[in-house]
Amino acid sequence: AQSVAQPEDQVNVAEGNPLTVKCTYSVSGNPYLFWYVQYPNRGLQFLLKYITGDNLVKGSYGFEAEFNKSQTSFHLKKPSALVSDSALYFCAVRPPLGGNNRLAFGKGNQVVVIP
């Protein structure tokens, strides 16, 4: 079964500094990987995904993520964090098409950007 680990509970970063949110995964076959963001009292919002191709994926709001097959990781990054980036971030994985359609979500990381 597929699974995701987000090892940190909370990530604190100063505004303007680089932001990294870590994610490692476990899945049979080539993974489909996703990042979502949840702002307070809102639903999850899709940020970006990796299906195939270039290991560096660019998404919404200046976020990007790098797929690393050897380390089974898909860390989310932003070069310069904004206070408005403070939110809960979820990594998710699913097996390739033809497998189970469900996403396995991590527990989420609270990101706090300090002004």
Partner 1 sequence: DAGVIQSPRHEVTEMGQEVTLRCKPISGHNSLFWYRQTMMRGLELLIYFNNNVPIDDSGMPEDRFSAKMPNASFSTLKIQPSEPRDSAVYFCASSPAGGGEQFFGPGTRLTVL
Residues that bind partner 1 (CB under 8 A): 32, 34, 36, 42-46, 49, 51, 90, 94, 97, 100-103, 105, 107-108
Rounded to a whole number of angstroms, the minimum distance from the CB of residue 52 to partner 1 is 11
Residue pair 85/61 in contact (Cβ under 8 Å)? The answer is yes
Question: CB-side exposure of 90: number of CA atoms within 13 Å?
Answer: 16
Residue of 38, 42, 84, 40 whose CA lies nearest to 61: 84
Rounded to a whole number of angstroms, the minimum distance from the CB of residue 20 to partner 1 is 21
Q: Which is nearer to partner 1, 6 or 81 (CB)?
A: 6
Question: Using CA atoms, how far apart are residues 52 and 32, in angstroms rounded to an integer?
Answer: 8
Q: Which is nearer to partner 1, 41 or 70 (CB)?
A: 41
DSSP 3-state assignment of 51?
A: coil
Rounded to a whole number of angstroms, the minimum distance from the CB of residue 92 to partner 1 is 8
Rounded to a whole number of angstroms, the minimum distance from the CB of residue 107 to partner 1 is 5
Residue pair 74/68 in contact (Cβ under 8 Å)? The answer is yes
Q: Which is nearer to partner 1, 10 or 97 (CB)?
A: 97
